[in-house]
């Protein structure tokens, strides 16, 4: 069976870590090396999941978004995304590069919102049909440094997550680091205060070792 022979790479990190530009740079690099890849993100990546993204990031009717609701919306978006886009691409031997995935749920809904990690791990597994990333790049940065970066480029204001206090974002960062420490074989942790070029170079080295 040649099912699921692609390679699944996820990027994780706090706000302002520079994931989007590194994701794009990696896609360009892989294409230049002749590997077919798709670039996607969470929450989102399909029509339905992008609708959930808008709700979960920007809902502001005055009605409280309960933490449990937020978790289930993230997982609903993931269930759709994995089945509609990620697994089909992996089954066609493509490299899938995803900007955030289930480790963000552990960090935000687990580490910061304090929902039980056992529930999150169960739902992550259920939503992703048991398909874990092959490699996760964690761009690590303090919330202070991250917010110093995004405050200059968000003229239209912050979303629900960016509006959380610094302490929330400290807990997000710590949960990412704890997950990385628990799974060193899957994670590559990179200091996101390095220059864009230095980060890209480090990512290329990891990718070369894993794929070429």
CB of 113 to ligand TMP, least distance (A): 8
The answer to whether 80 contacts ligand TMP (rule: CB under 6 A) is no
Distance from the Cα of residue 4 to its chain's centroid:
20
CB 141 within 8 A of CB 177: no
CB of 9 to ligand TMP, least distance (A): 15
| Alpha helix (H) residue ranges in the chain | 19-32, 47-58, 67-81, 87-91, 102-105, 117-127, 143-150, 166-182, 196-211
Q: With CA atoms as reference, report the closest residue to 128 among 74, 171, 91.
A: 74
Q: Which of 33, 161, 168, 177 binds ligand TMP (CB under 6 A)?
A: 161
CB of 206 to ligand TMP, least distance (A): 22
As a whole number of angstroms, the distance between CA 41 and CA 10 comes to: 9
The answer to whether 105 contacts ligand TMP (rule: CB under 6 A) is yes
- How many residues contact ligand TMP, by CB under 6 A? 12
Query: Two tokens at 197?
Result: 């070029």
Stretch that binds ligand TMP, among 3-11, 40-48, 141-149, 195-203 (CB under 6 A): 40-48
The answer to whether 168 contacts ligand TMP (rule: CB under 6 A) is no
Show Cβ contacts of residue 161 under 8 Å, excluding neighbours closer than 6 positions: 15, 57, 108
Q: Which of 74, 90, 95, 135 binds ligand TMP (CB under 6 A)?
A: 74
Stretch that binds ligand TMP, among 36-44, 144-152, 191-199, 201-209 (CB under 6 A): 36-44
Nearer to ligand TMP, 94 or 113 (CB): 113
Q: Which of 81, 85, 94, 100 binds ligand TMP (CB under 6 A)?
A: 100
As a whole number of angstroms, the distance between CA 152 and CA 75 comes to: 31
Interface positions with ligand TMP (CB under 6 A): 41-43, 57, 74, 99-100, 104-105, 108-109, 161
């Amino acid at each position: 069976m040649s099912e699921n022979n692609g390679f699944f790479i996820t990027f994780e990190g706090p706000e302002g870590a520079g994931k989007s530009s590194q994701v794009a740079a990696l896609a360009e690099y892989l294409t230049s090396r002749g590997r077919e890849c798709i670039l996607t993100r969470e929450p989102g990546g399909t029509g339905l999941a992008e609708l959930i993204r808008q709700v979960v990031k920007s809902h502001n009717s005055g009605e409280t978004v309960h933490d449990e609701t937020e978790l289930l919306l993230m997982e609903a978006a993931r269930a759709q995304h994995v089945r509609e886009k990620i697994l089909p691409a992996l089954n066609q031997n493509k490299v899938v590069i995803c900007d955030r995935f289930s480790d963000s749920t552990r960090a935000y809904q687990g580490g910061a919102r304090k929902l039980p990690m056992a529930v999150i791990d169960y739902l992550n597994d259920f939503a992703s049909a048991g398909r874990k990333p092959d490699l996760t790049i964690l761009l690590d940065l303090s919330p202070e440094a991250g917010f110093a970066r995004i405050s200059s480029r968000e003229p239209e204001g912050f979303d629900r997550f960016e509006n959380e206090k610094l302490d929330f974002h400290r807990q997000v960062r710590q949960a990412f680091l704890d997950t990385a420490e628990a799974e060193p074989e899957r994670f590559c942790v990179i200091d996101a205060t390095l220059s864009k070029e230095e980060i890209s170079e480090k990512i290329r080295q990891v990718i070369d070792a894993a794929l070429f």
